[in-house]
Amino acid sequence: MAVPSEQVIKYLQQSHDRIFENNRAWAEEHRKKNPEFFTKLSAGQEPDYLWIGCSDSRIPAEAITGLGPGEMFIHRNIANLVCNTDLNVMSVVNYAVRHLKVKHIVVCGHYGCGGVKAAMTPKDMGLLNPWLRNIRDVYRLHEAELDQITDEEKRYDRLVELNVVEQCRNILKTAAVQQSYAKNDFPIVHGWVFGFQDGLLKDLKINFEEMLKGIQKIYDLSAE
């Protein structure tokens, strides 16, 4: 490989060191404010929320919701997908629902999602094809509605929303969520979208009860 120049090396070193300097400053600040802060965290976690969001660097879940360490269990992947055969996300849902007993599950998409855009690009994306295929499937499920939207930007925005709705549905298809809800009346599943224009979350106002009933007509796994 080409040997990086002195300048590049210096820059990389600085951007790397910055993380550690920032981290030390952050820890020091919290210890000053509350000497017990880290000791308490060390004892365990009892988050009320599970967040399933996009990997996009612009949406740090805790920061944009004003939550502190210990409050939100997090899974982030490309385009906030919940795939039935994906052991990764299924392990997260399982652990959060069955072991941590979270009260809310939030699926949060965002407008201008690169994953959604890439999925709708007529191009071979190699390794990403199978993952992004799930988004094309969302389009196909809602083809009639989406095809009617002539403005391309608005059509993408709507696809982002519909993708969130479908992922909420996928969460409801799991035995963990169905069984916990039958027993405890939680978790409740929410679908939200984050907008970069104003930094605000939009609630898609999913009717959880109705959606669950609809799902269980075919996907009923509530009997243990």
- Residues 10-39 within binding reach of another protein (CB under 8 A): 12-13, 15-16, 19-20, 22-27, 30-31, 37-39
Regarding 56 and contact with another protein (CB under 8 A), the answer is: yes
Query: Of the ranges 1-9, 135-143, 147-155, 214-222, which one interacts with another protein (CB under 8 A)?
Result: 1-9
Q: Write out the binding residues for another protein, residues 76-135 only, by CB under 8 A.
A: 76-78, 83, 86-92, 94-96, 98-99, 103-104, 106, 112, 114-115, 118, 126-128, 130-132
- Catalytic residue list contains 31: no
Angle among Cα 139, 141, 142 to the nearest 5 degrees reads 65
- For the question of residue 113 being annotated catalytic, the response is yes
Q: Structure tokens of 123? A: 């191009």
The site that binds another protein (CB under 8 A) totals a number of residues, namely 89
CA 32 to chain centre: 32
Least CB distance to another protein at residue 213 (A): 18
Verify whether residue 48 is a known catalytic residue: no
Report whether 113 belongs to an annotated binding site: yes
Q: Residue 141 Cβ, how far from another protein at the closest point, in Å?
A: 21
The structure tokens listed for 119 are: 């999925």
Annotation marks residue 108 as catalytic: no
User: Which of 75, 108, 113, 157 is the catalytic position?
Assistant: 113
Q: Which of residues 155-184 bind another protein (CB under 8 A)?
A: none
Report the nearest approach of another protein to the CB of residue 166 (Å): 17
Catalytic residues: 54, 56, 58, 110, 113
